[in-house]
């Protein structure tokens, strides 16, 4: 069985849908992550704000936001979460992206360093109520390639509360594909750790194509992954006392 949520690897094959839901419901999300200040932070607390903020870099066409919101919102609605999506101009994350852009004394290739970016986002003041901010996840839309895998079109993770969609100017991506990619990355943002592999199943779910397959070939998210997310967030609700469902 592969790791489906938060990198936790189940120690057995699940023989029923109920057993799988119970596993997802029991997962503890409280894992600290490293910030750019060298300290560990509970970045998962973004969930308490029940908000996802979208930030478009200035050289990305504004109509891309519509497709990305469609992909994220479609998954949120299907799960039933009460999480707001805001296209915010209160801060644009331009500074974090600039600091996370790879360069050296002899080379500036404009590639976005994903790991550095998430460490910067973890400690940003806009997430911290002490500095007048509020807990939220960040979605960055950039025209840059992502350094760790340049053919990749996105990256996201629950623990850091981040998502990056890469729309380079030299790579034409149709709107419907942007929607699929955004829904796929939203799955990672909301808690799914790895991709869907048709060869790995939980007994009780019908084999089907899934948006969480590598490359997001279809728009539909399979029932196994929808249950993973739904029951994971029900577990968060139980442990935090925060109502996450409408």
pLDDT digits (tens, 9 = 90+) for 115-153: 888 988 888 888 888 888 899 999 999 988 888 665 678
Of the given ranges (21-25, 67-71, 90-94), which has the lowest mean pLDDT?
90-94
What's the total number of domains in the chain? 1
**Cα 91 to Cα 205: distance, rounded to the nearest angstrom:** 43
Residue 7 domain flag: no
Q: Which two tokens stand for residue 131?
A: 């500095």
Residue 246 domain flag: no
Q: Which two tokens stand for residue 145?
A: 């390639």
The CATH number of whichever domain residue 208 belongs to comes to: 3.40.390.10
Q: Is the pLDDT of residue 106 over 50?
A: no
Residue 84 domain flag: yes
Per-residue pLDDT band for 9 (boundaries 50, 70, 90) equals: low
Residue 65 belongs to domain spanning: 17-240
Residue 63 domain flag: yes
- Backbone phi, then psi, for 169, in 5-degree steps? -65, -25
């Amino acid at each position: 069985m592969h790791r489906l949520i938060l990198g936790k690897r189940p120690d057995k094959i699940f023989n029923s849908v109920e057993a799988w839901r119970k596993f997802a419901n029991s997962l503890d999300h409280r894992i600290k992550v490293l910030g750019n200040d060298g300290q560990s932070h509970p970045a998962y607390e973004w969930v308490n704000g029940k908000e996802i903020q979208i930030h478009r870099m200035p050289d990305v066409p504004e109509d891309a936001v519509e497709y990305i919101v469609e992909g994220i919102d479609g998954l949120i609605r299907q799960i039933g979460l009460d999480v707001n999506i805001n296209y915010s101009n209160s801060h644009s994350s331009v500074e974090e992206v600039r600091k996370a852009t790879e360069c050296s004394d002899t080379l500036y290739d404009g590639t976005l360093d994903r790991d550095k970016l998430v460490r910067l986002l973890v400690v940003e003041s806009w997430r911290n109520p002490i500095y007048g901010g509020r807990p939220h996840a960040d979605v960055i839309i950039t025209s840059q390639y992502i350094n760790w895998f340049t053919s990749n079109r996105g990256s996201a993770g629950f623990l850091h509360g981040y998502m990056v969609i890469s729309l380079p100017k030299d790579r034409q991506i149709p709107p419907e594909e942007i929607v699929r990619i955004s829904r796929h990355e939203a799955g990672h943002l909301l808690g799914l750790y790895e991709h869907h592999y048709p060869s790995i199943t939980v007994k009780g779910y019908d084999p089907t194509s899934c948006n969480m397959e590598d490359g997001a070939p279809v728009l539909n998210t399979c029932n196994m992954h929808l249950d993973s997310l739904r029951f994971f967030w029900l577990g968060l609700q139980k442990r935090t006392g925060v109502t996450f469902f409408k």
